[in-house]
Structure 1
Amino acid sequence: MLFDLAFAFIVTIAALLGLRGGVLPTLVAAGVLSLAAIAGIAAHAWLALAGLGAWLALFAVLTLALGSADQRLTVRFGMLGLGLVQGVVAVVLLAGLLLGTVYRETPAAAEKLRLATLYAPVAALGSRVAPEEQSVALAFPTPVDDVELANETPVPTIDWADVRPFNDDAIRALPGEIRAIDRTPLAFEVEGRVTEVNVDIGEHFEEGDTLAQLDTYQLEIALQERRAALIEAEARFEEAQQEYERQSALFERDVVAETIAETALASLDAARSRYEIALRGIETAEDRLEDATLRAPYDGSVATRLIEPAQTISAGAPALEIQSNGGGFEITATIPDTLVSQLQVGTSHEVTLLDGSDITFSAELRDIGSRATSTSGFPVTLRIPSPNDALRAGMSVEIAFRLSSNETGASFLAVPVNAIWSNDDGGFSVFRIDPETSTLVGNEITLAGTEAGLALVADGLSEGDIVATRGIPFLDDGMAVHLRGTGVARYDD
């Protein structure tokens, strides 16, 4: 509708300018328009567009400056006809230039122009005057009607990927961390305020060395109280023993009743119990006083220091973490589930320090965890048989795992994970592109696992197949598609 109005407007304005302008303006404008038409036919598109603009502007200016209404009727009708012809030529030239240049990369705009009612005669005239084989700048494609456009379904452009064999290299590099084999957290068995910390991270010590000390003032007072209680209990015990001996002697001479002797015996037993409790209280107080001193259980070094002087620490809270001297190092790492069956305990693997030294050494796989840690994979431990002097606990390393063959001998194909979708049967499928019809085919697959953004397919696809990788929820079986980056697509979405 818009293009119909534009075409009619151009023809009407040209006719009115010819009627009003007279001979000279109309002839000059006709000459300029002829040059623009020649430029268009000669494939000078932008020169032709500029000529069209100059034609309309010059026609209007000359008409306003030189035009006169006092001309003979025959002349005026002649100029009206010449202006009308110029308008038709301008419309044909404009439509051809738009479709041949400006709208070549914008199919939607070209579609609207081809839908215009007046485009059909314009295209017919343009095709005769400037055939496609003679002019590159002008294009007059076949008109499109509403019914044809409604029946035409846009072909979506999709992202895709080739199905390729899984890159099951003999070596897979994964990160790891060095730690000491004999590594122990130390804690005070009593709570208190830290008064001394005699070691720092990395410092070495010998068995029995004092590593840290708590304030013992309250513990010493408690020990003194226990000692005082022991002295009192000991005196009461001796007194009860003497009383029992005296009452026993009187009972044997029938001086006192048996009940009095029994009462003295009971008092002796109670005094003995209090004495024994007081003895155990002394031992407990001495142990608590000893526990206020943190001593080294073996020769080693400090891996982590968690306390500072004047800090109050509770019983059992870690104070230091130590590691033994000469106990050796091991490496911890996490491997994906797809590698578990390809690693064997006892095999040797090359390790590289990531501290910039590029030191390499061998480590032996000692253990593979029986349970995955969250979603990260399975924990593994490697033993370093001959530790290098440069090794320190906590260093980051890269482990080049040497993979053995899969137990089943199966080889997997790899596709991007986002190409996989769940089907109604609870399994997994992909959309494969049929190369002959360029349509989608839903393929059910057997998924063996995932690895680094790739889905490992055990069955259902062949090497070289092409699968859709994006917009899966909007695709359907049998849908015609265009592969992004291949050929020419009508709609580049």
Structure 2
Amino acid sequence: MNYETGVEKDKWRPQHEIAADTESRVEIDTTDDADRRKRRRIIIIAVVIALLAAIAAYAMIKGGGAPADTGNAEEAPAVTVVAPGRTTIEGTLSATGTIAARRETSVGVVGEGGRVVSVNADAGDWVRQGQVLVSIDRSVQNQQAAAARAQIGVAQADLDLAQSNLERALKLVERGFISTADVDRLTATRDAARARVQVARAQLNELQARNARLNIYAPVSGLVLSRSVEPGQTVSAGTPSLFTIARGGEMEMLAQVGEAELARISTGTAATVKPVGTDREFSGQVWQIAPTIDQQNRQGTARIALSYNEGLKPGGFATATINSGTLVAPLLPESAVMSDDEGSYVFIIGEDNKIVRRAVETGLITQNGVAIASGLSGTERVVLRAGGFLNEGETVRPVAPRR
């Protein structure tokens, strides 16, 4: 019906309008055909590209190889590299051990002993040489000394009498009242009296020396580490040590060091000691290295001398950092050094930015990294991180580390 109406209308339209309308419809039909052909070409091209990609993927999987390197640096993975150069490295090693007095002096009973009257020092006190540490009751000894002193007076009186008799005899011998034999007898009596005086004096000196040894004196100046005597206690020559004194208050650390590391230490080497439970550090130096190695744990003792300080407690546990010499070598962080069954190695950047494996020998280990004893000159570009995800021969894009 609509078609007939359209035809009916065309009967009354001018011929030039009908021709123009017909031309317009022809152009629209031509344009639609062109669009359809263009879309068809696009679809065909897309199908061809997809087919080629599938063929390439299949060939790569079946051949087991990697796709050919396009050489595009933007597509290669970025890795951080550095040229380590050569650095003077101070090697250190850590050790553990206990703190002790460097020179301990035991103080015991020197004399015959007796009852303790007073104790004048305690553990932790600083004493000087010759100071009285313990006083012993000497009431009996004082009486003996008084008796010996009296004996000297008796002997001296006998000597004075013998000397007077001899002098009178010498005056009478000239007159012939006393014979020469009498003079000789009186002279001998005088000499005997003089000898008795000397004996009495020697006995008194002996008693005084013994009495002086009753008290217990500090043999050296230093820090009292222990005390095992109390007032009222009876002591004698067989009594164990009453005091232990650290001579001069000097301390030391008995650092336990492995057999291999011990060979890298020498006397005079500086060390830092840090007691457990404190943040304080004390400077010292190795003054003696044990001449033997423990057969059980394969360790030796390095004795580190320390000056007196209240923070050093004998018997306490401590850690030590000991200098173990210097070395001029490349220094790398631990992340750059890897190892496997063949040994230690690093990845360096070779020609065309390809990964190259380089075997190295590690040296001193410091807080700043690992020293490379051999295998690197220091001018190479070494991969710092992510070495475990790289393969030898892989192309990468090296970048400098961030500052």
Task: Tell me the TM-score normalised to structure 2 length.
Answer: 0.50
- Larger relative contact order (CA 8 Å, sep ≥ 6): 2
Structure number, greater radius of gyration:
2
The structure whose residues are more often strand, as a share, is: 2
